[in-house]
Amino acid sequence: MNVDVLIGLQWGDEGKGKVVDFLSPHYDIVARFQGGPNAGHTLEFDGSKHVLHTVPSGIFHPATMNVIGNGVIIDPVIFAREIARIEKHGINTRKNLIISRRAHLILPSHLLLDALFENARGDNKIGSTLKGIGPTYTDKVSRQGMRIGDLDDREFDSLYSANKARHLAWASLYHQDISAIMLQGLSFAEYEQQWLGALSVIRAYERVDSEYYLNESLDNGRRILAEGAQGSMLDLDFGSYPFVTSSNTITAGVCAGLGIAPRRIGKVMGVFKAYCTRVGGGPFPTELKDETGEFLRKRGNEYGSTTGRPRRCGWLDLPALRYAIMLNGVTHLLMMKADVLNGVPEINLCTSYKVNDQYTDHMDYSVFSERVQPVYEQFRGWKQSLEGIDRFEQFPEALKTYITFLEEKTGVEVALISTGPNRNQTIIRGDMSLFGR
Ligand code: GDP
Ligand code: IMO
Ligand code: MG
């Protein structure tokens, strides 16, 4: 068996959570491989809405095992709150969630450093979610991090104190009143108290060497879906650096973040919106700062799932999409939020960029560092609602034309189209045998 991968192709929030929840019955295991609570994955079904930050989006399916892989970073406070919300819906998460012992811990002092780093950037802010992501991965790379496995170490308390002291010494270099910095609305002392208390919630879960668990599961014929967080344009290496997150969000991240060999990667499902959004700072060539952008934000409810910030909205960017398809080895495209474009008279699609009077459709270094002008092709919109449609053939001709054009330009089939936030508002082209087995 191979691991199928589901990955965001834009700047995050493509709708990964919805699709993972939809596909979960076709997999035995769903595994997160990178990122942390900067992620906000929204699931809607049976009249309720759930936002997941650390827990994989297969959690509402009791028969699906969910794995928080070694590449993920965990904030016990956020994890404990998330678990409490999920369990209210009758799920016994201790039965279908396990955690890698190699996953790193986000400390309260990581959140503090995140705030200081961000403040120090002045007008050049990343727009971080301030969940401590950058500082935690920095500690991992500089070999100073704390891991879930350390929870079983008798020296845990002194390890924590030493790391906190090191972080506070670092923080003092910023000459700011640290006591005035709030961590997710709490003082440092309050957050730390919650953090220490929440460690017992993590200790209640099975903590495993998940690389063995996953590889042995594959050997036993179990089907695994790897769930990406963020999106390819936020990838540490290939995204719009430095306006990126601190992990590899692309398919390659699955190998390092779960301990899966490259030859065991199967289908790669690339999720994208029929338009484009970004939250936080950084370049966004197709951004619309006009009433069309405002329309997309309102109709698409484009407000951050983690921070509530309004998302920047714009047209679909084909060069960026093709770049992401190349980096990830996408075998199937999944198009989300087609319904948000209902009633838009004319849809623009960016097919190339103008950079310094030259046309290009490459995302080379300069595209993210210089002013680029998008070059658009126009597509006719459609008037009717997509409500009640359950087969591709029933789509308005104009939507079919848009999808067919994207398939021609990317060379990849659009295998799934989402027409609303609900689990049921999902249209498969062909049959479900594409997914899972
Ligand atoms: P993720 O981070 O990739 O899981 O995406 P988010 O959950 O942050 O953002 C996607 C948002 O779009 C959520 O509010 C979803 O409920 C919603 N959504 C997902 N698919 C669709 C769709 O096809 N149509 C509409 N209108 N909303 C959708
Ligand atoms: P999901 O998984 C959208 C963005 C932040 C910021 C940059 C760095 O829900 O798609 P960080 O907190 O990592 O230091 O922030 O990355 N960002 C996201 N944007 N969706 C996400 O996750 C994101 N996770 C981080 O807004 O610009
Ligand atoms: Mg999100």
- C-alpha of residue 271 to centroid of ligand 3, in Å: 12
How far is Cα 272 from Cα 417, in angstroms, rounded to an integer? 10
Ligand 2 pocket at CB < 6 A: 8, 11-13, 38-41, 126-129, 131, 133-134, 229-231, 234, 245, 279-280, 305
Could you identify the residue written with the tokens 């692309």? 250
Atom 11 of ligand 2 has which residue's CA nearest to it?
128
Give yes or no for residue 17 CB within 6 A of ligand 1: yes
Q: Burial of 3 by CB count in 10 Å (0-12 exposed, 13-18 middle, 19+ buried)?
A: buried
Report the 3 state secondary structure along the chain.
CCEEEEEECCCCCCCHHHHHHHHHHHCCEEEECCECCCCCEEEEECCEEEEECCCCCCCCCCCCEEEECCCEEECHHHHHHHHHHHHCCCCCHHHHEEEECCCEECCHHHHHHHHHHHHHCHHHCCCCCCCCHHHHHHHHHCCCCCEHHHHHCCCHHHHHHHHHHHHHHHHHCCCCCHHHCCECCECHHHHHHHHHHHHHHHHCCEEECHHHHHHHHHHCCCCEEEECCCCHHHCCCCCCCCCCCCCCCCCHHHHHHHCCCHHHEEEEEEEEECCEEECCCCCCCCECCCHHHHHHHHHCCCECCCCCCECEEECEEHHHHHHHHHHHCCCEEEEECHHHHCCCCEEEEEEEEEECCEEECCCCHHHHHCCEEEEEEEEECCCCCCCCCCCHHHCCHHHHHHHHHHHHHHCCCEEEEECCCCCCCEEECCCHHHCCC
Write down the pLDDT at residue 63. Answer: 96
**Tokens (6 digits) for 172:** 């003092």
How far is Cα 211 from Cα 2, in angstroms, rounded to an integer? 14
| Distance (Å) of CA 426 to CA 8, 54, 434 | 17, 24, 15
How far is Cα 147 from Cα 100, in angstroms, rounded to an integer? 9
CB 34 within 8 A of CB 229: yes
Q: Is the pLDDT of residue 98 over 80?
A: yes
Write down the pLDDT at residue 291. Answer: 95
Nearest listed ligand to the Cα of residue 336: 1
Atom 11 of ligand 1 has which residue's CA nearest to it?
15
pLDDT bucket at 305, cuts 50 / 70 / 90: confident
Tell me the per-residue pLDDT of 345-389, one tens digit each, with 9 for 90 and over.
999 999 999 988 899 999 988 887 778 899 999 999 999 999 999
Average pLDDT of the chain?
A: 96
Tell me the per-residue pLDDT of 33-75, one tens digit each, with 9 for 90 and over.
999 999 999 999 999 999 999 999 999 999 999 999 999 999 9
User: Going by DSSP bridges, is the β-strand pair 426-428/73-74 parallel, antiparallel, or unpaired?
Assistant: unpaired
Atom 27 of ligand 1 has which residue's CA nearest to it?
421
Q: Is the pLDDT of residue 431 over 90?
A: no
How far is Cα 109 from Cα 433, in angstroms, rounded to an integer? 47
**Tokens (6 digits) for 189:** 């002392």
**Tokens (6 digits) for 337:** 């939020």
pLDDT bucket at 79, cuts 50 / 70 / 90: very high
CB 104 within 8 A of CB 247: no
Give yes or no for residue 301 CB within 6 A of ligand 1: yes
Write down the pLDDT at residue 368. Answer: 79
Higher-confidence residue: 159 or 305? Answer: 159
CA 219 to centroid of chain Cα atoms: 28
Write down the pLDDT at residue 53. Answer: 98
Tell me the per-residue pLDDT of 190-225, one tens digit each, with 9 for 90 and over.
999 999 999 999 999 999 999 999 999 999 999 999
**Tokens (6 digits) for 244:** 């990126």
Q: What is the mean pLDDT of residues 226-239?
A: 98
Write down the pLDDT at residue 437. Answer: 57
Q: Which of these, 10, 13, 6, 7, lies nearest to 300 by C-alpha position?
A: 13
How far is Cα 285 from Cα 279, in angstroms, rounded to an integer? 14
Nearest listed ligand to the Cα of residue 301: 1
Write down the pLDDT at residue 143. Answer: 98
Best mutation site among 7, 13, 18 for ligand 1, i.e. most ligand atoms within 8 A of its Cβ? 18
Q: What is the mean pLDDT of residues 287-299?
A: 96
Q: Is the pLDDT of residue 280 over 80?
A: yes
**Tokens (6 digits) for 335:** 């198009």
Write down the pLDDT at residue 46. Answer: 95
CB 194 within 8 A of CB 185: no
61 contacts: CB under 8 Å, gap ≥ 6: 21, 24, 25, 96
Q: Is the pLDDT of residue 410 over 70?
A: yes
Nearest listed ligand to the Cα of residue 135: 2
User: Going by DSSP bridges, is the β-strand pair 346-355/372-380 parallel, antiparallel, or unpaired?
Assistant: antiparallel
Best mutation site among 305, 340, 344, 428 for ligand 1, i.e. most ligand atoms within 8 A of its Cβ? 305
Write down the pLDDT at residue 206. Answer: 98
